[in-house]
Amino acid sequence: MVEKEHVITVEDLKKNPKVKALILKADKNLEKLGYTEHGERHVSWVSKNAGRIMRKLGYPERRAQLAEIAGYLHDIGNAVNRIGHESIGALLAKDILLEMGMPFEEVLEVMAAIGNHHEESGYPVSDIAAALILADKADVHRTRVRPQNRTQYAISTDIHDRVNYASTLSRIEIDPNSRIITYNIEIDIHISPVLSI
């Protein structure tokens, strides 16, 4: 049953049992495939930072909230398949958000951001999509490396695990005046050397 249209926030999504199940299943699937953590920690981090980017740059509060929603839902398509997870996720999000009563125009904004967040097929088609892309790609940290992949062998053979495990600190810095976004990352060079040109 579709609820009457009303303002949906990321806090509403965190209480939704379907969303919880999709995030859990997506992360379990990616764990089986050997990917870094893509669960509650990752989607919460991306959600928070997508909203923070929008607010610091002076976008309206509702646009920031939509970026948070897109950030929280962006990887749910992995519950079905890694390949095309961005398109699958956009369609899953559509059904959930409409069922929760979100206005269709807002659903379209969230769908476009989710559908365009993946580096192989996505584009920053809107301010929300751009904030989501930046927040998603900036989540680099050793906590994303799964415990079973923290072996010397895994770290030395998988570039994603090596770079994530080498990262001891990462942060997105936003200068609202110049509208410049900087990504700062601290790397343990004993784990992954930094290439200098």
Per-residue model confidence as pLDDT tens digits over 32-61? 998 999 999 999 999 999 999 999 999 999
Other beta carbons within 10 angstroms of residue 56's beta carbon come to 17
Hey, what are 120's tokens?
Answer: 């192989």
Q: Which residues, 6+ apart, have CB-to-CB distance to 38 below 8 Å?
A: 26, 27, 30, 75, 78
Cα–Cα distance measured from residue 123 to residue 110, given in angstroms and rounded to the nearest whole number: 14
Q: What is the pLDDT of residues 121-155, one digit of tens each?
A: 889 999 999 999 999 999 998 889 988 878 876 77
Domain residue ranges of the chain, discontinuous segments joined by +: 1-139, 140-197
| CB hemisphere CA count around 106 (13 angstroms) | 21
Assign a CATH topology to domain 1-139. Answer: Hypothetical protein af1432 (1.10.3210)
Whether residue 196 is predicted with pLDDT greater than 70 in this model: the reply is no
Hey, what are 60's tokens?
Answer: 């309206």
Average pLDDT over residues 80-99: 98
What is this structure's pTM? Answer: 0.92
Nearest to 69 by CA among 132, 121, 123: 132
